[in-house]
Amino acid sequence: MQLTLLALILALLTVIGFQLGRSRAAASVGGRVAELHSVPSYHGLYVALWAGLPAAALFVLGTASEGWLAMQLVLSGLPDRLTAGDVQSLSLLKADILNLAHGVATGREPDPAVVAAARRYTSLRSLADWSLLAVGASLAVAGLAWGRHRVGPDLRARTAVERVTRVALVVCSLVAIVTTVGIVLSLLFEALRFFTVVSPLDFLFGTHWSPQMAMRADQVGSSGSFGAIPLFAGTALITVVAMLVAVPIGLMAAIYMSEYAGRGVRIWLKPALEILAGIPTVVYGFFAALTMAPFVRSVGGALGLDVSSESALAAGIVMGVMIIPFVSSLSDDVINAVPQSLRDGSYGLGATKSETIKQVVLPAALPGIVAAVMLAVSRAIGETMIVTMASGLTANLTANPLQAVTTVTTQIATLLVGDQEFDSPKTLSAFGLGLVLFGVTLCLNVVALRVVQTYREKYD
């Protein structure tokens, strides 16, 4: 409540600051705007930033820390018998206080001291909110006054605004990087927990995958097995099938689009192909499970082959279709980037169109095409839904595309679906798999980038 109010006050003050700064700047030179170092709207922005930024920073800091601060104060006021537990009982105590403060039933008769603490916590929070509102609003007013005071013909408001803009842009890009680092770290720590239970060697080189852990010691099938080789093999198999479909078709489509199709065809064809990329993978999934898998099975049957109803082939083919637009769209771009002068040079020597494409255009575009294929591979490796629906969960170690296999991503999904304990090796193994997956796709992307940079011809 108080915080919403503060946000509104800040918004209002920045708007007022902008108006004040602008008009004061114009007034300071008697309306002869050309005598100002910066045009009046920059002065307006300058004052608005002074009014808004420090108070907003305080707002963020305050809301982030006040809960923690209030809790520390409350805990220090509690008798020792309550606070002297281990980490777990302390966090339980904190949860109790928070629940009582928010009026949520804890299901237990609360200790009177805890009830008092909850009441104290509520009042502290409210006090903190009000003081944050007061300090924030006065900081905004002070900022506004300071900014307005600085406004004058010689103030380099434009430069100052430029600096703030730059910092804002840096902060935005940092958000992306920090998030990535955070995800990787959490993946890493959970995976390390997994590797304290299961040896990394067993995980990476074991050939039997059966991620079960006994709830009770006497349970049947109590020993789990975490050899991930069948998953890696399954992933590789499906990826190979998908690439065998996607690369030739995507590349040929790209060549047709960039070299043969007229403008009229091209402006329709390219978006049409890109629609393929917009279909949700779940839809591909049931296409694979309900249409492609039975089709593959019946064709296999007609040829006298034994095809299981969920086959790597069906999943791979559909995944390949899904990836076609990746390959075609990226390749089309790189083929278009090959300078016309190279084609002219080839035609000028009496080469035909297909000779020119085969011997000049494609070699020149090769680095880009390789990068496109690499990106498509990492996309195929990361794909989950199609395989879950069409190729099943059986961890077969086989190179036969007519059998059911499972992939790393599918296993991660199944391991974490439903109610799970988050400290059993079964669920933790998902993080181990995730880490391997991340490593592989990262390597692929790095290699793709390196290929592009190393072999890129400089055309200027």
Minimum distance from residue 340 beta carbon to other proteins (Å)? 9
Q: Binder to other proteins among 344, 399, 442, 447 (CB under 8 A)?
A: 344
Minimum distance from residue 260 beta carbon to other proteins (Å)? 13
Q: Are 83 and 93 in contact (CB under 8 A)?
A: yes
Minimum distance from residue 391 beta carbon to other proteins (Å)? 41
- 265 binds other proteins per the rule CB under 8 A: no
Stretch binding other proteins (CB under 8 A), from 38-46, 204-212, 293-301, 346-354? 346-354
Burial class (CB in 10 A: 0-12, 13-18, 19+), 102: exposed
- 351 binds other proteins per the rule CB under 8 A: yes
> Would the CA dihedral through 252, 253, 256, 259 be positive or negative?
negative
Site for other proteins in 64-93 (CB under 8 A): none
Contacts of 355 (CB under 8 A, 6+ apart): 346
3-class DSSP assignment, residue 210: strand
Q: Binder to other proteins among 13, 360, 435, 436 (CB under 8 A)?
A: 360
Q: Binder to other proteins among 132, 155, 364, 381 (CB under 8 A)?
A: 364
Q: Which is nearer to other proteins, 147 or 368 (CB)?
A: 368
- 453 binds other proteins per the rule CB under 8 A: no
Burial class (CB in 10 A: 0-12, 13-18, 19+), 329: buried
Q: State how far the Cα of 68 lies from the Cα of 89, in Å rounded to an integer.
A: 17
- 342 binds other proteins per the rule CB under 8 A: yes
Q: Binder to other proteins among 159, 359, 420, 453 (CB under 8 A)?
A: 359
Q: State how far the Cα of 164 lies from the Cα of 179, in Å rounded to an integer.
A: 23
Phi and psi based region of residue 351 (left: phi greater than 0; alpha: psi -120 to 50; beta: remaining):
beta
Greatest CA separation for the chain? 96
Q: Binder to other proteins among 158, 363, 370, 400 (CB under 8 A)?
A: 363
Phi, psi of 266 (to 5 degrees): -60, -45
- 352 binds other proteins per the rule CB under 8 A: yes
* 35 secondary structure, DSSP code: G
Q: Binder to other proteins among 3, 347, 402, 441 (CB under 8 A)?
A: 347
Q: Binder to other proteins among 148, 270, 297, 343 (CB under 8 A)?
A: 343
Q: State how far the Cα of 123 lies from the Cα of 111, in Å rounded to an integer.
A: 19
- 345 binds other proteins per the rule CB under 8 A: yes
Q: Which is nearer to other proteins, 52 or 368 (CB)?
A: 368
Q: Which residues bind other proteins (CB under 8 A)?
A: 262-263, 339, 341-352, 355, 359-360, 363-364, 457-458
